[in-house]
A and B are shown apart, each in its own frame.
Chain A
């Protein structure tokens, strides 16, 4: 028989304003096993914890229920308090009467009723709790960074500098990511490549960093401290050790009709290619879908011209299996597809481009060698119109609900650069709001308006109509002057919303890391744990977690690295004792539990079983407690109920349900 204490927290007025806390404590005394109940203003405070500890000692409590906030907040606090008073920490249960009750209800009577029910369920569970003891698991002192953009590079560098091995897996043939596609960066206007390439070189040369480009994560198993990852190194068709990066193959390649991914499809590249001049590694890949040798069997020019003999048409994909203690996701973003925004004529006119395409147009290594010109006829534009929030801040499901955050600033940058280099070009920006929080951001924007004479119009554009003479008729509205605007433009630039890289869903599934409805990876806590995924050992770096600019990305990349380092620095981790175990007398050996186990923690043994005097050789499930993460998938799959979860047993859960339904 348990001796249970119930402690009801007011949380200031957070709970007490909506829930009659004294009543909850009073009702607790009617519950089975409850010998002590009290309420207090802040249970999590030193004084509150002292009350719990005093009651445990004075009344010889064997279990406690704290009716308070979410266990995500203070379960550890109360478990530790109980442990200091000599109670097993797993004899503590939290009834969440804040997030699950007071915060979401208004009526005091109803909320109190619900709080009592939640308390009852927790008491019913504690009645069946048993002391548990955590085990230990090892930490592999190596980190994996998925994505080789500025976020991944910075995270990898910081982890490597701390003395740990890091592997970067990058899907494309080179590291560098989106930042390598940018021309200049706000608000200082440094050349993007000039500040990025030293980092790329540094990470490439770092003795603790291994870079796998043209590679993808294929399979992830294991858990915090001990992940096993399969990396598919796609066949480059070029021997990385032999290639000298001379570039002759690319020059001589006769197949030059493939749209360049790096230049956003604005020009073409050869079938054997390095995406850009500063690519790391400076080793080309053969795009087998475009290569005549692979498609028709007739060509082989690159192989003939390669002095180093590096071309290898027979190369196969390679699977590299490696163990990691921590995984950082830095998969970045892409622009949204503009199919839903055809009123802006993106698909109808080559002179309507996205901002990222403009970056390539403005860049000396871009399709126009840095000259601002119309992509239709190569003429210099006189009138340019920028349209903001294309697909961002959208109230329906056509676009994204969120603000893409970087567009206001890069548009100010584009406008300023154009006005600076081509003073005869008029630049008009249609905007909803101009958002410039950030160091030196507003000053930057004001310079665009005040010093460079960029024409900002508050209002949206309804339609862009390509004219027979090649001009673009922009039909918009000026909300301040309250008038319709018809404007002829030579080029229109769309600030398209950014969205997480589409691959992130697959990666999140492999990592069992949660993602939100916009495919951004979810943080463990929006304010207090912003670079950690709720899945232990998974950290978030860069735009995969939410829109951000380069300085923010770099800061977050460093923060993610610190969290990873904090984990790698440990020799052992305490494991969750709430793991599954199988009752071998009931086990059918049917393998269903092993089939659903995401951690590969269940195996089978054929052994002699003594089932109440009947000796039989049976195939039974065995759980590896070091691998089990206590997710409970096996317990609900097991048809006979042989599989059960410590701390969340079927009996405990049914007791909770019964208590709620009582």
Chain B
């Protein structure tokens, strides 16, 4: 972290960048938040640890409109989102100075709490420099421990790799943390009967409070005006007719980001209700892989994704329909 701060200050000082986009300490030891740093003294709050899960790519849409370059700290998986935004002309490469920051997996406080660890005062082992594979948590009930991998975010268990797909320079080591099958959960749901599936999604989606956090954090959901806020569609500011309308929000959102979603997992990370929203997107990714060949959105900057390009070898619509 110190190396990162030193380099950021250097680039600010020599005028290469006008600001730095990173994370600052939150009011709790485990909730750092995205922040801009423009002056040397701002850096006293700068943090980069294993709780810095937030994907900063989306902030670059607004940062691209500002004067001068913005130094943005991107983890390996965040670079996929940045590439996708570049593909969609939403960010300006020339306005970004990308520092690829090292990552050895990010932590999910909810997973720690689920293990009965409450009243957390501080957590050690979450520093990026820490080599330990155990977290030591100081709580009001005394010291507790928790294996690092047991506290990792779901997305880190299906890590896309330690490679940054786009960067200007890299600071820190990364580690691939994949230890689970990406589509295992999707396959489990696919195996359900239609009734079971419906019951599963009804149960999960009924928790939704429509806080819009999933949409607001999603790098693919970056429309200037979301259809759910637009007066053009009669759907904004509208009371739900029934519980089903709430579910439509997530289903429509999944369709809107299909083929563009990099599976960054931010939707599920920020959901205050713990809905596994990434499963919708991952189902689409699985379908795209199977029907159009394996495709990882954001791996490179592409002109046309599989859903917006047509080739003679495309599967016939009938085959798609038969799959259901």
Interface residues of A (CB under 8 A from B): 505-506, 509, 583, 585-592, 595-596, 598, 604, 611, 616, 619, 637, 639-642, 650-651, 654
Docked-complex contact A639 and B223, CB < 8 angstroms: yes
> When the two chains form their complex, are residues A641 and B230 in contact, meaning their CB atoms are under 8 A apart?
yes
Most central of B222, B223, B230 by chain A CB within 10 Å? B223
Chain B residues with CB below 8 A from A592, complex form = 88, 308
Q: Contacts A591-B88, A616-B65, A651-B232; is A586 near B225 (CB within 8 Å)?
A: yes
Residues of A near B222 (CB, < 8 A) are 588
The CA-CA distance from A325 to B234 in the complex, in Å, is 43
Q: What are 11 of the A-B contact pairs (CB < 8 Å)?
A: A509-B312, A588-B90, A588-B224, A590-B88, A595-B308, A595-B309, A604-B89, A611-B224, A640-B223, A642-B225, A650-B233
Residues of chain A within 8 A (CB-CB) of B234 are 651, 654
**Known contacts A616-B65, A654-B233; A640 and B308 CB within 8 A of each other:** no
How many of chain B's residues have a CB under 8 angstroms from any CB in A?
A: 23
Which chain B residues lie closer than 8 Å to A583 at the CB level? Answer: 232
Q: Which of B61-75 contact A (CB under 8 A)?
A: 65
B209 within 8 A of A: no
B226 CB-CB contact with A under 8 Å: yes
Q: Which A residues are CB-close (under 8 A) to B303?
A: 591, 595
**Minimum distance in angstroms from B322 CB to a CB of chain A:** 15
Indicate if B227 sits at the interface (CB-CB under 8 A). yes
Please report the C-alpha to C-alpha distance between residue A590 and residue B304 in the assembled complex, in whole angstroms. Answer: 11
Q: Quick one: CB contact mask for B292-312 with A, threshold 8 Å, 1 for yes? A: 000000000001110011101
In the bound complex, what is the Cα–Cα distance between A506 and B310 (angstroms)?
12
A-B contact count (CB 8 A): 63
**CA of A75 to CA of B226, assembled, Å:** 36
Contact pattern, B 216-249, Cβ under 8 Å of A = 1, otherwise 0: 0000001111110010111000000000000000
With A586-B223, A641-B227 as given contacts, are A596 and B233 in contact (CB-CB < 8 Å)? no
Q: Which of A604, A640, A650, A651 contacts B226 (CB 8 A)?
A: A640
B256 within 8 A of A: yes
Given that A596-B308, A651-B232 are contacting pairs, would A586 and B89 also be in contact in the complex, using a CB cutoff of 8 Å?
Answer: no
- Cβ–Cβ < 8 Å partners of A637 in chain B: 308
| Contact indicator A651/B233 (Cβ below 8 Å) | yes
- Complex Cα gap A642–B305 (Å): 20
A650–B308 touching, CB < 8 Å: no
C-alpha gap A583/B232 in the complex (Å): 11
Which chain A positions have C-beta within 8 A of B310?
596, 598
Q: For residue B84, give the distance in angstroms from its CB to the closest CB of chain A.
A: 10
* Pairwise interchain contact B256-A639, C-beta atoms closer than 8 A: yes
Task: Tell me whether A586 and B233 are in contact (CB under 8 A).
Answer: no
Excluding A586-B224, A589-B90, A640-B226, 17 further A-B contacts by CB distance (< 8 Å) are A505-B312, A509-B312, A585-B225, A586-B230, A588-B224, A589-B88, A595-B309, A596-B310, A611-B224, A637-B308, A640-B223, A640-B227, A641-B227, A641-B232, A642-B225, A650-B233, A654-B233
* Min distance, Cβ A74 to any Cβ of chain B, angstroms: 30
* CB contact between B89 and one of A506, A591, A596, A640 (< 8 Å): that residue: A591
